[in-house]
Structure 1
């Protein structure tokens, strides 16, 4: 069974060798690696070529495509189209792959009976953190295996595999989307196995280690873009509506009662604190595991950062979502845009 690994990169000169090392160190090496660079200006293609020249035996099947201006969807589609394997495994720049990542990811195909091969396999990703801030960020925004319902899980393209035929039937990754493209692609794969709840076989041991953002500014931009993508693709209306209601109605009502209430003003503040505790409960639980390497004092610092990170992420989402909706409205007559609702 020939397996192709595809990656898209853009200005990843600091991290690309870590990814290449982890690909070269796989217990089941890919038969080929196809990387599409979207026009990096930091020397990423040169670093890839230099790596291949230094270690020609490590990734002998590596091919580099350069497509200036390609977004992540376009880059993935070009790389998949160029790949020769019937099984496509996808990961991202900026990650470090577990040594058995590819072996675990393709295992469902290896053990399947003829005619019962899976359409797609969902791997997983875990935090690869340094310091207090990244640990707090990971506990706040990244799920652990315990948080996942395999029947509803929509995998990130940091760790996923599918047949090339399924990719073609899905119409490829949506090139009209710059963010949330992997979710829309997941929906298109799931549609091929309807009415089954999912097209994905769950492979939680196929792990890509992912580094969260290193500052609140970078995190804001990331979640702003995610939410803008939600608006463009018309994703998660109820989730965004609940967030606007919470910050636009519930929180002001509690604060107002705490400041100007006619009776028992303490109830306003108590309600606000209770809401924060409920909202941060699961991240604080994850912190006990993700932050096991921290001292007690550092874990306390990380716990105090969790509500701030939640707030910044929510505000970024509330800022980005209407921008995406406005883009969707302006492009409502564009035939290249998929207008079907996906959630």
Structure 2
């Protein structure tokens, strides 16, 4: 991935299609649509797939006076991946920008996100997202789970499909979201594109706001599902193994209750919460939050880390079991690297005419 410097082979601004999927988004729909309407550089086309809303979302979209050509499609039961793939197949522009309902885009979001495509060498523009928070609980959770833009490692960043854009030529070459996944589908798509040679650029000023979870249960469910998606797709196996080992060791140390071991555990625990604490302190200071309120939010960070970790440790094996039942194994031959977007397996012993699903 590159930053936006040293452009070569400049071209004229490409046409842009904005796509999204929705389902029962009525409470946040007005703010999302207003964000699109207020863009400094509106899209040339908007394609929205409704997965079967029952709360008035479809009716509101049908009456919306969009700032450009609008294509609305309704497919009851459509997954996020299926909906995005369908929307991308209907898009007619040079560049496809992707976002999620429930977000609120900065006024210059689309302009910043699609600006890099004047450079013919750019294939994917990775935007960023900012947590919308209210109260100590959400501020603490956001600091625990979401990095600031200056923490991003450009070479390894996998953009969320809340804020990303791609040349349509890559979609035409078969790079689609994995329809066999219900969570982590955007990470697998990113990895497929990187594996296929797509050139990413980080557009960290292209920002959308989104609301973080507002209670313990919804947060637990979210991270359970993320980890289940990791297990289904074969993502981050080493990271999950390290987590299990760390908690096993921590449990043994707690049971043994030896002073030196407990002291070492306390030091490691402080190191674990350090980054979220620094992040929260910086964000609260910039937002003008009183120090006493920040201190209270600090106390929630260990609980957020623990709940998130437990959710991941429960969710990951559930995903592994699903992968075993679906594909007959949980090894590298059934990871995302070997599974086509439609859920079929590619194998090296396939006919010579076949190629891996992500190779070009």
Q: Distance in 2 between matches of 1:48 and 1:268?
A: 59
Query: TM-score under structure 1 normalisation?
Result: 0.89
1:20 is matched with which residue? 33
Moved over 4 A (4+): 333-336, 338-342
What is the total number of aligned residue pairs between the two structures? Answer: 322
Partner residue of 1:255?
Answer: 254
Q: Which residue of 2 aligns with 1:262?
A: none
Deviation at 1:120, TM superposition (A): 0.8
| 1:141 to 2:145 alignment | yes
Matched, 1:308 2:303: yes
- CA contact under 8 A between 1:190 and 1:199: conserved in structure 2? yes
Cα distance in 1 for residues equivalent to 2:344 and 2:209: 32
Q: Which residue in 2 is equivalent to 1:84?
A: 92
> The residue matched to 1:151 in structure 2 has which SS?
coil
Task: Give, in whole Å, the separation in 1 of the partners of 2:174 and 2:313.
Answer: 30
Cα distance in 2 for residues equivalent to 1:90 and 1:108: 15
Q: Does 1:274 pair with 2:267?
A: yes
Query: Equivalent of 2:74, from 58, 66, 69?
Result: 66
Match among 164, 177, 199 for residue 160 of structure 1: 164
From 276, 291, 308, give the equivalent of 1:283.
276
- 1:225-262 CA distances to partner (integer Å, 9 max, x unpaired)? 011100110000100000110112x111220232xxxx
- 2:343 paired residue number: 337
CA contact (8 A) 2:42 2:68 kept: no
**Are the aligned partners of 1:123 and 1:207 in contact in 2 as well (CA < 8 Å)?**
yes
The 3-state SS of whatever aligns with 1:276 is helix
> For 1:80-119, what aligned pairs fall within 5 Å after superposition?
80-110=88-118, 112=119, 116-119=120-123
Structure 2, unpaired ranges of 5+: 1-13, 329-338, 347-355
Measured against aligned partners, the alpha-carbon deviations of 1:112-161 in whole angstroms (never above 9, x if no partner) come to 2xxx3311111111111111111001100001112111111110101100
What is the TM-score with the length of structure 2 in the denominator? 0.85
For 2:265 and 2:105, the matched residues in 1 are separated by: 41
Looking at structure 1, the residues matched to 116 and 16 of structure 2 have their Cα atoms a distance apart, in angstroms, of 13
CA 1:267/1:96 → structure 2, altered by over 3 Å: closer, same or farther?
A: same
